[in-house]
Chains A and B, each alone.
Chain A
């Protein structure tokens, strides 16, 4: 279960703070998902890659929806504060995933089944995950206990947000006519009313966790992130199955994993891991610089200049190219270099 620290939610300012918090949560999942995705390259593991790619794009969409909600409520999203980017390995913002005093430690690591099971599924977990039979595999995942006093799930966090927004009503949407970028990866729309905001929250929650009764996201046919990841762990697609009481089972197309398709790259790479003057150091700094530039362009785009999105999207592809260059650059001990996601850009010693 994904748990986040409980915060008070009384005023519009509280809601604005909560939305900035939501942006940081949605963003914090992207670097670990991207490193895993990048590490798969393009030669093998097509089905797994498509699952990861689809999830990353939707996370980017959630990020943008949360930012548009903040704009509509009169706030200004900030993406360039030094604390905006988590330090990996480490906890996600607001103690996401922590439970019983134990931190969920998230790594920037190459793809593995364990990474999906022990980290990605924990990040995306609903309060009470639905359980589906694996045919022929046994279930692997068990529900987790919760301390409801100090923690809540992301779903609960968004439920509280919905309640407060409903309470505040349309009048709180003082920024509804401000420019809101929509030409962004994922299902992104402008927030012009309370109804739009409630719909945005449903998209975010259901694409991530599904609903309490179905693994599907938002009434469509797409499976929520938690169950998409679970498909990778089980090795089969989750499909409707009238022969079982749950209505779904992991009995669809196989989702095979070929470990030989994963790049042998460093885990939790830092620019300082690479020798001064080396090609890996040079490219890692370029990667971090492009990442910083991407965040700056996004901040501009969400601060009234949606045209800057073109610049941001261009830099996303630059990140991919730098990541590929890093992953093809030897970094010693038989491993290749890996994307660093260090922000602010480390200053050369």
Chain B
């Protein structure tokens, strides 16, 4: 948890995120058409998807199960729920209403824990259907208004979505980025979604307001069209500064929906509260209430995989590295933590395993091709002093390039022989004698002088000397000098 509160001037930020994720189901939420991204337009359609007269929705059980996984992974309560119709006209909305959940959503009252430990509340995570995708041709800005004509692809219509409504517990752009990054990892971990912001399978709207410390909540604006984690931070910061400028100049923030424009880095009014649709929600009469049996909920819960937070804690405790430190974060995000633990189980030092995997395994994928035993053997040579850290990196590069290998043989082939302490000491003495000036300066407390001494020792040892051991020797010799 960051000790210092994020402030802009003397304002604090209050941010709540609404995240939509497309579920990785085989078929749509209410029909048997395939749920697939990127295919020829209008090839995954049927009477239900197109909202043809007389067609009726039938709820997809797999979608419910994935939605429950999300809810349970976010510490929500899964409850009996209902579906409502949200009525509004739009050309890519085939029925002119969206089937969503309103006052009784599937998942309620959970939280997401940021890597640093702060909990962000999750008010609800409910099921709903996606709309089709419009492409507006001609005119300006790809908007329907002023375009020459529009094309609609209904492949996306009816794709199952879960909308995760976060509480306004986020206090900085960085926390917002952490929230979305962590959420994405959880969604992928539980197999609910591929959660790709760039493909639109994960979409994020931000409700942003500002206030001076201790004041009541300010008027919020909803920011749409944020298409990456990076944009999210930028959009929130821009919007906060815009609101602060308004307040500071004596104006008021209007409640409205704003559109983030990636190219100019600003938010623009999309619609004000006054032009907001009246959605006329009412209970969807074509569906019956959904009440997942306790046994089903329990089974879904029991089958949940280990979540990123638990994986980080496990890796941190095995390696001694901090759970929210870069190495643990990166390795868990790549899914290589099991591998690190496997290397450690072959007798290698877990901390060194973490460092090597983090640095050398970026391209290796969640299940590296290098046998854990090979890496373990290399690390054991390193920690027992048979390889310097520089040499270890070179040996490892070789192992990685060949998808495995015997560290001893590679080290021998490279001429990396362990240098014994007496040989090293002889070299140190030789350099001290040859560079008496530098030695004198170093002894007088001029730390910079040590660099020249170390450099010379490395040079005459042809890089075989361990830098740390050299430094330690020089220090002990100065103390006894």
The answer to whether A and B belong to the same complex is no
B residues within 8 Å of A by Cβ? none
A residues within 8 Å of B by Cβ? none
